[in-house]
Amino acid sequence: MTPPTERGNGGDGGDGGGGSDGGTSGSDDSDDRIDGPHQGQSLVTAGTELESADAAMVLVHGRGATARSIIQMGNEVHQDGLALLAPQAQRNEWYPNSFLAPVESNEPGRTSGLQAISDAIEAANEAGVPTDRLLVLGFSQGACLASEYVARDPQRYGGLAALSGGLIGDEIEVTDYLGGETAADLDGTPAFLGCSDVDPHVPEERVHETASVLEELDADVDTRIYEGMGHGVNEDELETVASMVITLVGE
């Protein structure tokens, strides 16, 4: 397993989502690549060299943390053949306010953060790892961005793990994430949502709302609410993510 290294993450990327799978940026406008506060930050990589990897995990850190710190979580669940990629937020913060605030109050950070995830996915795609062999994981702010990205760019992913987070906005309407009868869906993507029942930042209701949206998009959702845990990651969550990784690498 290679030690963490940093790549540039901002100059002349393409339209943001696709690589071999033709995905979108995860934002409302997929035609133009976003150039916001998080573009130009480092993309930290570890695990199996990307060019040799059979699968990949994009890890999105929380407020006040760093790409290098969440790479450590990736190392705990790493398997041979898995590349780890972690985008870095400017000043260690993806957006300024609670994820429960109106979306406009968290721009341009929210959209720029979605683009950062898209850029990491594109890097994996260009190295030969398709999106259906790529797991998107986030904690706290990172979990909010990860779930928002996957819900707004529905296709088959290798998985989603949203730990202590949920979809972004003051209100969540399932119809905002559905594109009509001919729209794409998540095609059975495994999605794990883990959170405490007393998390001071993430209401349990928002976790269930997020699960409902993902289920409507045809994800295979596993929601676990942990009694009295607070805002953090527990052993059961790590074991669940590790199991998702083993399944992904073994496919």
Element (DSSP H or E) covering residue 59? strand 55-60
Question: What confidence score (pLDDT) does residue 76 get?
Answer: 96
2: pLDDT confidence band, cut at 50, 70 and 90?
A: low
- Residue 98 is classified by DSSP as -
Both tokens assigned to 176: 């905002």
User: Per residue in 54-99, pLDDT tens?
Assistant: 999 999 999 999 999 999 999 999 999 999 999 999 999 999 999 9
pLDDT of residue 184: 87
Which of 210, 232, 208, 226 is closest to 160 using CA atoms? 210
Domain at 141, CATH number: 3.40.50.1820
User: For residue 219, what are the domain limits?
Assistant: 2-250
The pLDDT value given to residue 7:
64
Alpha-carbon separation of residue 205 from 93, 166, 172, 194, 219 (angstroms) = 24, 10, 11, 13, 19
Name, in order, each residue with C-beta under 8 angstroms of 204's C-beta and a sequence gap of 6 or more: 195, 197, 225
Six token digits for residue 169 = 């906005």
- pLDDT value at position 177? 94
Condensed to tens digits (0 to 9), the pLDDT of residues 96-123 reads 999 999 999 999 999 999 999 999 999 9
Q: Name the domain count of the chain.
A: 1
